[in-house]
Amino acid sequence: MEYVLVTGGAGYIGSHTVAELLENGYNCVVVDNLSNSSYESIARLKVLMKHDIPFHQVDIQDETALDAVFGKYKIDSVIHFAGLKAVGESAHIPLRYYHNNIMGTISLLEVMEKHGVHKLVFSSSATVYGDATRFPNMIPIPEECPTGPINPYGRTKLTIEEILKDLYASNVQIWKFAILRYFNPIGAHFSGLIGEDPLGIPNNLLPFMAQVAVGRREKLFVFGNDYDSRDGTPIRDYIHVVDLAKGHIAALKYLDKNSHTGLCREWNLGSGTGSTVMEVYKACCQSIGKDIPYEIVGRRAGDVLNLTAKPDRAMNELHWKTELDVKRACEDLWKWATGNPYGYQLENVTSAFFSKEKVHESRVLTVGEGTSFEVSVANIGATLVDLKIDGKSVVLGLNDEEEYCRPENPYFGATIGRYANRIRNGEFVLDGKNYKLTNNEKASVCHSGIQSYHKKRFLGPLVQNTQRNEFVAKFLLIDAKTEIPGDVHVTVTYHVNTEAKELSIDYEAELLNGNSTIINLTNHSYFNLNLDQEKTVENTEIVLVADKILDVDESGIPNGELTELHSQGNGKVIKLNKGIPAYDSCYVTANKSSINTRSHSPAKIFTAYHKASKLQLDIFATDPTFQFYTGDFISHPDFAPRAGFCCEPGRFIDAINIDPWKNAVILNIGEKYGSRIIYKFRTRSNASYWESSI
C-alpha cells in the first residue's frame, strides 16, 4: 500500500487536501506538530471519509522521528504544508520563521532523499511575488513575474523554492517538485465539519469576520481604504479551499504523468478574478444574513495593492481551474463557523491519551466534563469507559487501553460486534456457503471470538457539541478481513444530553463487499447505581420489561423455544439481594425485529433503582431481545462478582442458525443495519412512587 505523506495535514489547507486525496483514492499519512492545528480535524476526517488516516505528531525538524515515519510506510510522494504562516508575526519573530520553515523543509528533503522518495508538492504562496504592481502589466500575475517578497514569511517560502530548484538541479533525473503558489484560500469543507481554526487573533479576513459574526470578536478591522482600487480596499484573488485542495491532486497527477524524468515547476493556484476586501465583506454578510460591524483602520505593513493570479499555466498544464466562487466560499465558511463557533475546541469536552503508547489513535474523550452528567468514551472498542452522575461513576471501567486488552476484561463498556452473543459452535450457512469461526467457548463463539470489537481501535471520534447540552461522538470501525464473510463499516454514535441525563447509542453498519454478512451489535456496560462505589449491586431493584425468555442449553444456545415469564420478569420488581441466583438470560421484548430497527420507537425494556442513592436507570431499545446478566462470573482482580449488572439489547441469540430470527442478523449489500439503545437516569426521592410506577 502506497501513501502520500502530508506534512501539516491537520491544518486548514492540509486537512482539506487530505479529504480530496482520500476522495481520489490515495492513502495518506499525516505528520503535524499540532503547533497551530488540532488533531480533531484528522479524527473528524477519518469518520467523515470513512477511511483510516495514520497520524504522527511529529515536528518535521525532528529528523529521527520523521525517519521513523518514512520507515513505517511505503511513501510514494509528499505534500508539504507544514510551516508557520502569519505574515505579521513573521516580521516580529523572523528567526522562528526561518528556523521552522526552512529547517523543516531541509529536514524533510534529507529524509526523503535517504528513503528514495523524490516527489514533492510544495505549499508556496503568492507572497513570493511581493508587490507585482511595481512592474507594468504584471497584474494578473503570471509565474514569470520576478519574485520579491516583502516580508520574512514570503522570504522563507521563496528560499524554500530556491532550495527545491537547487536540489532538482543537483540531480535532474530524479527529483520532481511541484511548487504551488497559493492566492487567498477561503471557505470550508462542504460538510461543515472541517475548516479554518486559527489560534489567537485570525490574520485573515474571513476567519476574522466569522468570529465577529459568532460573537467572539467585536468588529472587523479593514486595513486601509486608500488603495488604488474600485473601492479603495486591496484586491485579492480568493479561492475556495476545496478548489485549492483539488489543485494538489492535479499537481500530483502531473508529477506522476511525467514519470520519465525529474522536474521542478511553479504553478499559481488562483481564480484569476480579483475581489476587493469590501466586496468579500459584502458577500460574507449576505451569507451570514446580517451586517458585520467593521472599522476602517490604517494600512498594514507588508500589504500590497493587488494579488490576482494569472492561472493559465495551471489550467493548461494541470487541467485545473477554480469551480467555486466567493459566494459559495462564504456560505461554506458560515456553515463551518455556525456549527463550530470555536473551531475544533468544544466546551466541556476534553480528551487524553488512553494508551501507554500516547498515540492519538487511542484516546479517551469526555463529553459533558464539568456537568452533572459526564460520559467518557475511548477508541478501543468504542468503549463507554465511564459515566458519571454528579461526579460519581455508575458504570464499571478500566484505566487504559492496555487494561481493556487483557483477557480478564469482561467486555466492560465495550461495543460488541460484529456478532454479539453466541453462535452455536461458531457455525453457520450464508448464501449457501458453510462458515466455521474459531470457538472461544467450549461449544460456541461468543461476542465474535477472535475478531471481537472490544479490542479493536475505532476511528474518530467525530465529536460535536450540537446544542449547549447535547454532544455527539461518532466512531467508525472498518471491520475487514476477518473470519466473518464481508467487510463492513460500523458507526457507533454516542449522543449525550447532559440536562436530560440521557445517553443513547446508535449503531449503523453497511456491507462493503460480497453479497451479505451476519451482524448483531450492542453495548456491554456494567452498571452499578449505588454511587458510593460499593463493591456489588446489592440493594438494587430491577424490572425486566419482557414476558418471555429464551430456552437455552447448558452452553447458552437457544433451541428456538420461548418460555413465558412469571415471577422473574414481566414487570415484577426483583431485588438483587445476596441470596438470589445468578441471572444470565435472554429476554424477549415487545419490539419487532428487522435488520434496521431504528425505524421502530425505542421501547422501555429495563428499569433499575437503588434505594440508597435514589438513582433510577431506564433502558430503552429498538431490538427484540436483551440479555440480562448479574455479573456473577466477573473474575477481574479489581472487581468482585456482581460488581455491576448488564443489560445488552440485541437480536435473538444464535439467530443466524434459527429460521424465524435469521433475517434480522443478515445484512445484504446495499442495506443498512441499525439499532438504538437509550440510557436515561433520574433521581427519585420518593421510593414508593418507584414501586408503584411499574
Task: Select 99 or 682, whichever has its Cβ closest to a copy of itself.
Answer: 99
- Residue 505's nearest CA partner among 521, 516, 519 is 521
Residue 302 contacts a copy of itself per CB under 8 A: no
- Provide the minimum distance between the beta carbon of 79 and a copy of itself in the complex, in angstroms, as a whole number: 19
Q: Which long-range contacts (CB under 8 A, 24 or more apart) does 283-289 make?
A: 283/326, 283/327, 283/330, 284/206, 284/209, 284/330, 284/333, 284/334, 286/327, 286/330, 287/327, 287/330, 287/331, 287/333, 287/334, 288/209, 288/213, 288/330, 288/334
Residues 143-162, interacting with a copy of itself (CB under 8 A): 152, 155, 159, 162
- Provide the minimum distance between the beta carbon of 80 and a copy of itself in the complex, in angstroms, as a whole number: 14
Task: Select 103 or 478, whichever has its Cβ closest to a copy of itself.
Answer: 103
- Residue 423's nearest CA partner among 555, 535, 548, 546 is 555
Residue 347 contacts a copy of itself per CB under 8 A: no
Residue 174 contacts a copy of itself per CB under 8 A: no
Q: Identify the residue among 139, 167, 385, 395 touching a copy of itself (CB under 8 A).
A: 167
Nearest-5° Cα angle at 670, 665 to 674: 45
Give catalytic residues, as residue numbers: 524
Q: Identify the residue among 24, 65, 76, 98 touching a copy of itself (CB under 8 A).
A: 98
CA 158 to chain centre: 35
- Residue 567's nearest CA partner among 588, 547, 586 is 547
- Provide the minimum distance between the beta carbon of 275 and a copy of itself in the complex, in angstroms, as a whole number: 30
Residues 99-128, interacting with a copy of itself (CB under 8 A): 99, 102-103, 106, 109-110, 113
Q: What is the C-alpha to C-alpha distance for residues 406 and 403, in angstroms, rounded to an integer? A: 5
Q: Identify the residue among 64, 170, 533, 599 touching a copy of itself (CB under 8 A).
A: 170
- Provide the minimum distance between the beta carbon of 90 and a copy of itself in the complex, in angstroms, as a whole number: 8
Residue 232 contacts a copy of itself per CB under 8 A: no
CA 61 to chain centre: 27
Q: What is the C-alpha to C-alpha distance for residues 415 and 523, in angstroms, rounded to an integer? A: 5
Q: Which secondary-structure segment (H or E) carries 46?
A: helix 39-48
Question: With CB under 8 A, what is the number of residues at the site for a copy of itself?
Answer: 23
Is residue 119 within 8 Å of 4, Cβ to Cβ? no
Task: Select 172 or 573, whichever has its Cβ closest to a copy of itself.
Answer: 172
Q: Cα separations (Å) of 400 from 74, 403, 409, 458, 641?
A: 31, 5, 12, 15, 21
By 3-state DSSP, what share of the chain in percent is helix, strand and coil, each rounded to 5? Answer: 25, 30, 45
Q: Identify the residue among 34, 65, 138, 163 touching a copy of itself (CB under 8 A).
A: 163
Q: Identify the residue among 2, 68, 72, 92 touching a copy of itself (CB under 8 A).
A: 92
In this structure, the number of other CB atoms found within 10 A of the CB of residue 325 comes to 18
Q: What is the DSSP string of 164-186?
A: HHHHHHH-TTT-EEEEEEE-EEE
- Provide the minimum distance between the beta carbon of 70 and a copy of itself in the complex, in angstroms, as a whole number: 16
- Provide the minimum distance between the beta carbon of 385 and a copy of itself in the complex, in angstroms, as a whole number: 41
The span of 163-171, 192-200, 502-510, 551-559 binding a copy of itself (CB under 8 A) equals 163-171
Task: Select 103 or 512, whichever has its Cβ closest to a copy of itself.
Answer: 103
Q: What is the DSSP string of 391-443?
A: TEE-B---SSHHHHTSTT---TT-EE-SB-SEEETTEEEETTEEEEPPPSSSS
Task: Select 166 or 632, whichever has its Cβ closest to a copy of itself.
Answer: 166
Backbone φ and ψ for 99, nearest 5 degrees, come out as -60, -55
Task: Select 80 or 248, whichever has its Cβ closest to a copy of itself.
Answer: 80
Task: Select 105 or 379, whichever has its Cβ closest to a copy of itself.
Answer: 105
Q: Cα separations (Å) of 331 from 26, 192, 402?
A: 28, 10, 45
The span of 32-40, 89-97, 244-252, 322-330 binding a copy of itself (CB under 8 A) equals 89-97
Which residue bears the cell 486608500?
Answer: 226
Task: Select 76 or 113, whichever has its Cβ closest to a copy of itself.
Answer: 113
Three-state SS for 586?
A: strand
Which residue bears the cell 497584474?
Answer: 139
- Provide the minimum distance between the beta carbon of 99 and a copy of itself in the complex, in angstroms, as a whole number: 5
Backbone φ and ψ for 382, nearest 5 degrees, come out as 45, 45
Q: Which secondary-structure segment (H or E) carries 460?
A: strand 459-467
- Provide the minimum distance between the beta carbon of 66 and a copy of itself in the complex, in angstroms, as a whole number: 14
What are the beta bridge partners of residue 375?
A: 367, 387
Residue 169 contacts a copy of itself per CB under 8 A: yes
Task: Select 17 or 90, whichever has its Cβ closest to a copy of itself.
Answer: 90
Task: Select 61 or 594, whichever has its Cβ closest to a copy of itself.
Answer: 61
- Provide the minimum distance between the beta carbon of 75 and a copy of itself in the complex, in angstroms, as a whole number: 18
- Provide the minimum distance between the beta carbon of 207 and a copy of itself in the complex, in angstroms, as a whole number: 25
Binding mask 561-580 for a copy of itself (x = CB under 8 A): --------------------
Residue 634 contacts a copy of itself per CB under 8 A: no
Contact residues: a copy of itself, CB under 8 A: 90-95, 98-99, 102-103, 106, 109-110, 113, 152, 155, 159, 162-163, 166-167, 169-170
